[in-house]
Homo-oligomer: A and B are copies of this chain.
């Protein structure tokens, strides 16, 4: 079957031509630690510093002996160390176990039996046999870690082993010289939020924007959008964003839908996750890119892809202007298991429509031609989900219809949006109704300020939605509340010991995992890196609402 967009193969070629060479920088361990059970500590484990790093090169270890290196901060790269035999002779191989850990629990709790849903192979442990000492052992795989737990499993009665010169050859496509340090005028807490955000981003910036360097190590559209925003405010690696956008476009499904994740290796390939809200945000991400980079030519080229994504969303907006969850799509919004997503998705769709109009307008200004409204698509014979009735020209009226309908159907007496037949109140619903401009800033501010007092309101379960709540607060002028949320939520991760921000963080349950094992959670995760974006933008409101119509 031919690709939906005739240029897809060329787009993949463009993406591949933009594949960066990674910067390699040596990182050294700063000390030794050992985990101590501590109910007050994150996940029940506190790292206690112990003496001995300097003495390791002359310390002879036998079976069952070991230690845990602390690199002081989260790093991503390959690991190496030197080994030598101490004793009469190395008359047998050495067997050593490694655990690369992002958080203390990974060094303290057994990996097996593994109850998690994702692959056990993501857990970063290795058993290595080394035949000939002395040597420099370079483990071939890339790891994401702060701690390295090393245990000698076997030597022999004739010798022990001494280990030295530990190092991580870190890799990233982020250029640290491109970004200024956090302003010293900022309170220390915000300087630290900024540093940890940028370390998170840097450690996810490899040959694509990875979601997490421990897991899943690949490009996700939702994560990309937030990484890109933070990148524009810091490292400004536009080529990497372009590469990623072209990968999504070049690898679109045969009906034009962009996947929610794509693979780089062994060759660029579509992932088989399709998330409706992620697809809807392709256009907004494209506009973000063009605005930041000035690369309107790319935005013009990928415009048909952005426009096509709206078909998949609008197919589920009825004549009454209300989004109806068809039940056949993965709608993400947030990890919360009980979240009813109809209202959130509706608000997100209106947000995307507004951003598509802004993109069309900008393309008209920058490229001198109006963005095509769907005419190109008419040359395709594919049956588009939702038909071709949703051309660009219809968007303004559609925004208005969806706004009016949602306010009428779902907004309750308290001014909050209620989702689904059970009329569920959630932070997600209010945030996306604000971001979509369905609520005015004044209404949105009232709604958002009401949420903490509503015990029945479903709170966010993870950083991705917390980001959108902060954005919504800023859109409503709730700067103090937004700042306080950064302090309480991302600041909570800092107080938990984070040197990079987590994939999953629930202040009320630090062992929460969407995968049935907190050990498999990723503790350096792209979508969590946006405090630096907010800080470096001076807590300015997000773009969509600047152009939002009021109803």
Contacts and interface: CB of A to CB of B under 8 A. Distances in A.
A94 B121 contact: yes
B155 A119 contact: yes
Interface in A439-492: none
Interface stretch (A22-30, A128-136, A236-244, A531-539): A128-136
Interface in A498-530: none
A141 interface: yes
A214 to B, nearest CB: 11
Interface string A210-229: 00000110100000000000
Given A129-B141, A266-B133, A119 B154 contact: yes
Contacts of A437: none
A409 interface: no
A135 to B, nearest CB: 8
A93 B117 contact: no
Contact of A63 (B94, B120, B153, B158): B120
A157 interface: yes
A131 B271 CA distance: 16
A119 B133 CA distance: 15
B127 A127 contact: yes
B121 A157 contact: no
B266 A156 contact: no
Interface in A19-49: none
Nearest to A132: B265
Which has the most chain B C-beta neighbours within 10 Å: A63, A95, A119, A131?
A119
A86 interface: no
A119 B92 contact: yes
A363 to B, nearest CB: 34
A266 B142 CA distance: 28
Interface string A246-264: 0000000000000000010
Contact-size category for A: 35 or more
Nearest to A269: B89
A316 B271 CA distance: 78
Q: Which of A88, A120, A215, A271 has the most CB of B within 10 A?
A: A120
Nearest to A129: B121
A423 interface: no
A133 B269 CA distance: 13
Contacts of A122: 92-93
Interface string A261-305: 001011001011000000000000000000000000000000000
A263 to B, nearest CB: 6
A151 to B, nearest CB: 13
A412 interface: no
Contacts of A120: 63, 95, 153-154
A118 interface: yes
Contacts of A118: 92, 156-157
A488 to B, nearest CB: 34
A150 to B, nearest CB: 15
A7 interface: no
Interface in A51-101: 63, 88-95
A266 B82 CA distance: 14
A126 B129 contact: yes
Given A127-B127, A266-B133, A91 B271 contact: yes
Q: Which of A122, A134, A155, A216 has the most CB of B within 10 A?
A: A122
A132 B207 CA distance: 15
Given A132-B266, A141-B129, A266-B132, A95 B121 contact: yes
Contacts of A158: 272
B131 A141 contact: yes
A121 B141 contact: no
A93 B127 CA distance: 16
Given A91-B216, A216-B92, A263-B89, A121 B155 contact: yes
Nearest to A158: B272
A550 to B, nearest CB: 44
Nearest to A155: B119
Contact of A154 (B90, B121, B135): B121
A127 B129 contact: no
A218 to B, nearest CB: 8
A119 B62 CA distance: 11
A135 B134 CA distance: 30
Nearest to A142: B131
B92 A134 contact: no
30 contacts: A63-B120, A88-B272, A89-B269, A90-B263, A91-B216, A91-B271, A92-B121, A92-B216, A93-B119, A93-B121, A95-B119, A95-B120, A95-B121, A114-B154, A117-B157, A118-B157, A119-B154, A119-B155, A119-B156, A120-B153, A120-B154, A121-B129, A121-B154, A121-B156, A126-B129, A129-B141, A133-B266, A134-B266, A135-B266, A158-B272
